[in-house]
Each structure stands twice: as structure tokens, then as C-alpha cells.
Chains A and B, each alone.
Chain A
């Protein structure tokens, strides 16, 4: 922000009280729903405590040490990374194909877009149940189709099937988000560049790979970061509805593990330690986004 802009903004408020007042609701919300819970998680992470809080031992870094020594936690990290990467690649790829295609559609473009955007309006739990049901080996129509094709599909037993299922469900839910940004990005590419390439004899695919894709770079980077955030923090409901972390922990991603350890197993210390680790990761992602993305992504698109 240039100093001229800063001066301009400051000039709007002669008095500090009004802006403070306007900020207050947001600050209160942050305090209640972010700062206080975070502080409590931070203190709980260093305690071994009875869930009711009547017996509390300070254990230093024990919770963290146990966490990092636990093969189970390593497995959960691995699962999260695999899930997030797979979801990221699949979502961006599909969104890109759809955006590219809709950029070329002339008739019924509005309908086409509306249909693609629909999954975003569906609650994650509903989406999860839908996918779980369609692919249920006992009653699911798609599972029956797969069985008919001789594929021994069973996400209730086979970890990789379950992983594939949650990746599909999560990606389906998130494709629309990436699609909007990519479509906007494609529209923002100056047509003069594309026309020049066309005149030089480049076909649509060539034009896309040599002109469109490079210009979409910042958008893609931004989306990759957002997809990571989605994959790490926002897929709780889908996991809960589709697999509940199973079978045998095959889809037990970190956020779901925090929930299970905290709210089902009542192991508050470990759950808090896990939240702290996730919080540090979230901070890191935010910094990454501010440092690199904010500078390069133009919101003018």
C-alpha cells in the first residue's frame, strides 16, 4: 500500500473512536471463538487432566512427545498428506477442464455454470451421506455397478477404497470453488494474446498450454493453498459422514483425529496438543499465502 493510499484511508476517520466501535463486533467474535479457545487449547496441551477438570497434572511437553512418538499419529499425518494432495490435484484438474470447456461454450453457458456450482450449495454432511450411500457395497447402486464389472469394491474393509471415496466426495464438493476462480482467470486473459496465437496457427489446446496456463499461474498457486487449507481443516463433516476415519484409521485425517481423541476418547491433553500442532500449521499456511499469494494474485479479475 502506498503512503498516499494510507493517508487517504486515515483521512476518512478524524476520530479513533468510530473505527474502534466498528471493529468491535469482529474483535469480540475473534476473542470468544478464536483467542480464548486457542489459549485454553494451549494450556490444556501441557496438562494431563481428568475430563471434568478436577484432577490435573502438569506434564510439560509429555503430550507432544507422546504424539510424535505415536505410530498412530504418524499414520494420521501420512493419511492427511495423501488425502490433501490427491484432493488438490483432482480438484484443480477437474476444475480446469470444466473452466476451459465452459469458456468455449456459447449456448446454455448459464445453465452449465449453475450445474457446476450446485455441489457448493450442498451441506458437506449431506454430500458425504450421498457418496457413502452410492458407494455402499451392500446397497449402493454405483458399488453394484463396480461389483458387476468384477471390481471388489469395499470401502468398509479396504483402506484404499475408503480413501478413494473420501477424495472423490471432498473433491466433488470443492471443484466449484476452484472452477469459479479458474473461469474468472481464463476470462481475464487478454483476448488479443489468444487471438495472436490463433493467427499464428495454434489450436485451442496449444493456446491453453502456452498462453492461458502460464497466465493462470498465480491463480493456481492461490487455489493450491486454499485446497490445502480445505483438505486439512474443512473436511471434517465429509469424513464423519463417509467413513468416520475408518476402516482401521485409513481415512483418519488430523482434524478428525483431534475430534475423536477429544470428544469420543475424552483424551483432552492429546487432543489439545494435536490442535496446537494444527494451529501452527495453519499459521504457516496463512503466512505463506500473505507472503506470496497476496502479492501476485490480482483481484481485478
Chain B
């Protein structure tokens, strides 16, 4: 009995010593967790990206986990953070920028990399991308998957209706869409995208250089107030509503993705993200193309703004883990990584260098539509109206706006009354955010 115990103790000690001795020698790589929202084909690309990074060096290992859609990822992160189990890196939608930045749970990415001596060409980021994710001239979060809405169209539908391509302005395009419908080319001239608020209201405002809210769209203070009820966003809501009522535009509804209605060849146009490239290229069996989003007659179009998500670095982890995070983010910022990501997904290249590389290798000769979003983002110099949107509780105000717009689509409210109500309700939500975060921005 006694002897057995001694043997066991000795064995245990040996094991402990072995373990203790071996770990520094083998130099276990530092592991960091990355929660993302990229499912399906995009998820496979993320896995590939992480695999490439892990293979490129031996010190760090990034583990990427898909935690569902954007809403689920931010909720999962919040729950994990409260339980002190948050991952080091999380992918959060662009709308969550203010929520994340003022949460006191994240750290600025630019500082993190600069302090560790990484030479990232911050100034080289495409302006609307950097503009959206910056605060006081510094990137708070690492841009990752950025897109911008473009106008997808069915070439043969347009040709059959006697048009070479979609017109540049909303007014002329409207006539074309009505012609497509009336000539019987297609019963569905357009289909409303799931994120129509983004393409048809927010980007509409940026492109037409219309103020969305006071204080430079929220960039200059939490006391910002929405003003889109005083711009042509109101007539834009009326226009979309008219299209829907006249059967020119369809709403896909639940259980069916609007994209399918376009890629199946049923609907002639689709105002949606350039990120749809991967699926349109794969599924659309007809002659399709894409072009810039339209603008109002008589306007000089500005740049569009971005959507998508960025990578936030969470507080509360070990220093060596931040070394790993910094190395990974630096890897992401490299033009080669950017170029690869742009090509395999359909998201825009985030830096001008990556864009140049794609041009130099003639990528856009074979894929002309993939250049539209980046050219649209780079069009002119961004103004206060087209740099981006810095609103707290931005998802909530967006939901309010959609609800009011749908009242117009249903014929229950006039566009002006609906947008007035949307602004009134949303401003109350902004005040809540201001009250909570006073003095932090």
C-alpha cells in the first residue's frame, strides 16, 4: 500500500517535471479565437484564410468559429464578454461600430498594431472604408469584409425592351423598368433586396450628397439628429412604394431570398451588395451584368458607402495573445491577402494597393463587374454626407425606418408622414444612446 503510493507519487512528479520541461522547449503556439459570421462558401474562405495564416508562421494559431449570422455573433460576444469568456477577435457588422467602440470592451486596432511595430499603411485604405471605421483619424477596428451596393441587371431583359443598359438616373431608370413591365419582357422588373434600407436610403443619401443626420452624420457628436425626412429620401420612399404598388418591383418575402428571384432570371434588376458576386456568378444562367447605383437627375454622384463587417479586438486577454492578434491582423492587411480575399469572395479590396494589384494582373478584364463597387467607393472626394454613418443603436433606428417605410408600401401612410415618424422615433433612440454614453465620444 505504502509502496504503491510512493510509486504513484514518483510517477506523478516525473510527469509534472516532464510537462514543465517540455512546454517551453516545444514552444506551444499561442492560440487565439476568432468568432465570425461567415457561413457557407464564405465560411470555407475564412477557414482557408486562417489555414494560410497558421501555415505562414509557427508562433501563433488562429481558430476561426462560425457563430451564426451577424446578430448571433454580436449577441454571442456580449454573452461571452459578460461571462468573461469572450474571444480575442470578433467580426461585427458595420452598424455596430458605435456600440462596439463605446462599449469599453474593445481596443483600437491601429494602436494595437502600431505599438507592436507593425508597419501597416493605414493611409492606403480606401477612403469610405477607413472613414467608416475611424474615430479621430485612427482605425478602431480592422476592416474585413466590405461591400457596397450596386445595380445588378439582366442584360437580355434590357435588350428585349430596347435598352442597351440601365440608365444612370433614377428618373430614366424608372421609365426603363416600367417599359420592361409594359412590354411584357418580365413581370418583375425589379426585386426589393433584404437590406434595401442600406442601398436605397443610406447609400442613396451618400451618392446624392444628402445629409442623413446632423453633426456630419453623427461623426461630430452623440447629439446628432436624423434629418432624412427633409431630403429626397422621402420621394425615394414614394418612388419605391409606387414601383411596388404598380407591380414593377416585387418583395420576395420570407422563405425566399430576393437574390434567387434575380438569379433565376425572373426579375430584371436587383439593387444589392457587390458581395452577391460569388453566388450570382455561380447560379445565374443568363447574360447578366452590373453597374453603378443610379442617382437623382441633375446631381453629380458622390461615392457610395460601405456595408459588411470588421474585426474587433476584445479587451481582457493575455499580452502574448495580443501578439498573435496583431500578427494576424497585420497578415490580413497585406495587399496579397486583400487581393486573394477580394477575388474569392466578391467583397471589395480594402486598400488601394490591393486594388492596383488586381488591376495590374488584369483581373477586371475578365471580371468587369467586380470593379464597379470599388470605383463607386472611390468616386470623388467623400463629403460629410458620404463618409459613413456614426450612430449609436444604429440597428434599432434602421428597424424603425424600415417599419415606417413598409407602412408606405402597404399604403397606410404617406411618405412624408412615415419618414417624419421614423425620424421622430429614431431621434428618441439616439437620445437614449446619448444619455447612456455622455462624454465618451
Contact mask for chain A residues 18-55; partner B; CB cutoff 8 A; 1 contact, 0 none? 00000000000000000000000000000011111111
Cα A158 to Cα B411 in complex, Å, equals 8
Contact assessment for A248 and B395 in the assembled complex, using a CB-CB cutoff below 8 Å: no
Give A53's nearest chain B residue, CB to CB: B82
Is B375 close to A, CB under 8 A? no
Please indicate the chain A residues that have their CB under 8 angstroms from the CB of B432 in the complex: 48, 267
Is A185 close to B, CB under 8 A? no
Is A57 close to B, CB under 8 A? yes
Contact mask for chain A residues 131-170; partner B; CB cutoff 8 A; 1 contact, 0 none? 0110011110000000000000011111100000000000
Is B11 close to A, CB under 8 A? no
Contact assessment for A138 and B252 in the assembled complex, using a CB-CB cutoff below 8 Å: yes
Is B15 close to A, CB under 8 A? no
Known contacts being A247-B409, A248-B403, is A266 close to B396, with CB within 8 Å?
Answer: yes
Which of B188, B250, B436 has most chain A Cβ within 10 Å? B436
Is B81 close to A, CB under 8 A? yes
The minimal Cβ–Cβ distance linking A246 to chain B, given in whole angstroms, is 6
Is A113 close to B, CB under 8 A? no
Is A274 close to B, CB under 8 A? no
Contact assessment for B435 and A57 in the assembled complex, using a CB-CB cutoff below 8 Å: yes
The minimal Cβ–Cβ distance linking A138 to chain B, given in whole angstroms, is 6
Is A264 close to B, CB under 8 A? yes
Give A268's nearest chain B residue, CB to CB: B78
Please indicate the chain B residues that have their CB under 8 angstroms from the CB of A210 in the complex: none
Binds B, one of A86-94, A115-123, A237-245: A237-245
Is A249 close to B, CB under 8 A? yes
Give B264's nearest chain A residue, CB to CB: A139
Q: Return the contact of A248 from the options B105, B188, B412 (Cβ within 8 A).
A: B412
Please indicate the chain A residues that have their CB under 8 angstroms from the CB of B396 in the complex: 261, 265-267
The minimal Cβ–Cβ distance linking B312 to chain A, given in whole angstroms, is 11
Please indicate the chain B residues that have their CB under 8 angstroms from the CB of A241 in the complex: 254-255
Known contacts being A157-B244, A266-B99, is A248 close to B71, with CB within 8 Å?
Answer: no
Cα A129 to Cα B440 in complex, Å, equals 44
The minimal Cβ–Cβ distance linking A122 to chain B, given in whole angstroms, is 15
Interface residues of B in 389-441 (CB under 8 A from A): 393, 395-396, 399, 403-404, 406-407, 409-410, 412, 425, 429, 432, 435-437, 440
Contact assessment for B104 and A55 in the assembled complex, using a CB-CB cutoff below 8 Å: yes
Is B75 close to A, CB under 8 A? yes
The minimal Cβ–Cβ distance linking B406 to chain A, given in whole angstroms, is 4
Cα A146 to Cα B432 in complex, Å, equals 45
Contact assessment for B395 and A132 in the assembled complex, using a CB-CB cutoff below 8 Å: no
The minimal Cβ–Cβ distance linking B426 to chain A, given in whole angstroms, is 12
Contact assessment for A133 and B255 in the assembled complex, using a CB-CB cutoff below 8 Å: yes
Please indicate the chain B residues that have their CB under 8 angstroms from the CB of A138 in the complex: 188, 250, 252-253, 256, 261, 266
Is B227 close to A, CB under 8 A? no
Give B74's nearest chain A residue, CB to CB: A266
Known contacts being A48-B435, A57-B436, is A132 close to B255, with CB within 8 Å?
Answer: yes
Contact mask for chain A residues 50-72; partner B; CB cutoff 8 A; 1 contact, 0 none? 11111101000000000000001
Please indicate the chain B residues that have their CB under 8 angstroms from the CB of A243 in the complex: 254
Q: Return the contact of A155 from the options B82, B253, B429, B437 (Cβ within 8 A).
A: B253
Contact mask for chain A residues 219-253; partner B; CB cutoff 8 A; 1 contact, 0 none? 00000000000000000000001111011111000
Is B251 close to A, CB under 8 A? yes
Cα A133 to Cα B254 in complex, Å, equals 8
Contact assessment for B410 and A248 in the assembled complex, using a CB-CB cutoff below 8 Å: yes
Q: Return the contact of A265 from the options B250, B393, B409 (Cβ within 8 A).
A: B393
A-B contact pairs, 5 of them (CB 8 A): A55-B436, A57-B435, A129-B254, A264-B399, A266-B393
Which of B75, B252, B255, B256 has most chain A Cβ within 10 Å? B255
Cα A249 to Cα B412 in complex, Å, equals 12
Is A260 close to B, CB under 8 A? yes
Contact assessment for A263 and B71 in the assembled complex, using a CB-CB cutoff below 8 Å: yes
A residues lining the B interface (CB < 8 Å): 48-55, 57, 72, 129, 132-133, 136-139, 154-159, 241-244, 246-250, 260-261, 263-267
Contact assessment for B103 and A260 in the assembled complex, using a CB-CB cutoff below 8 Å: no
With A138-B261, A157-B251 known, 4 other A-B pairs at CB within 8 A are A50-B437, A51-B103, A247-B410, A249-B403
Please indicate the chain B residues that have their CB under 8 angstroms from the CB of A247 in the complex: 251, 406, 409-410
Is B8 close to A, CB under 8 A? no
Known contacts being A48-B436, A55-B437, A246-B406, is A260 close to B251, with CB within 8 Å?
Answer: no
The minimal Cβ–Cβ distance linking B367 to chain A, given in whole angstroms, is 30
Known contacts being A51-B99, A266-B395, is A156 close to B253, with CB within 8 Å?
Answer: yes
Cα A265 to Cα B95 in complex, Å, equals 11
The minimal Cβ–Cβ distance linking B350 to chain A, given in whole angstroms, is 26
Cα A266 to Cα B188 in complex, Å, equals 36
Please indicate the chain A residues that have their CB under 8 angstroms from the CB of B14 in the complex: none
Contact assessment for B410 and A132 in the assembled complex, using a CB-CB cutoff below 8 Å: no
The minimal Cβ–Cβ distance linking A112 to chain B, given in whole angstroms, is 30
Give B96's nearest chain A residue, CB to CB: A266
Cα A7 to Cα B425 in complex, Å, equals 61
Cα A275 to Cα B435 in complex, Å, equals 23
Ranked 9 nearest A-B pairs via Cβ = A248-B406, A132-B255, A265-B396, A156-B253, A156-B251, A54-B104, A52-B103, A132-B254, A52-B105
Is B102 close to A, CB under 8 A? yes
Contact assessment for A157 and B425 in the assembled complex, using a CB-CB cutoff below 8 Å: no
Please indicate the chain B residues that have their CB under 8 angstroms from the CB of A57 in the complex: 435-436
The minimal Cβ–Cβ distance linking B418 to chain A, given in whole angstroms, is 9
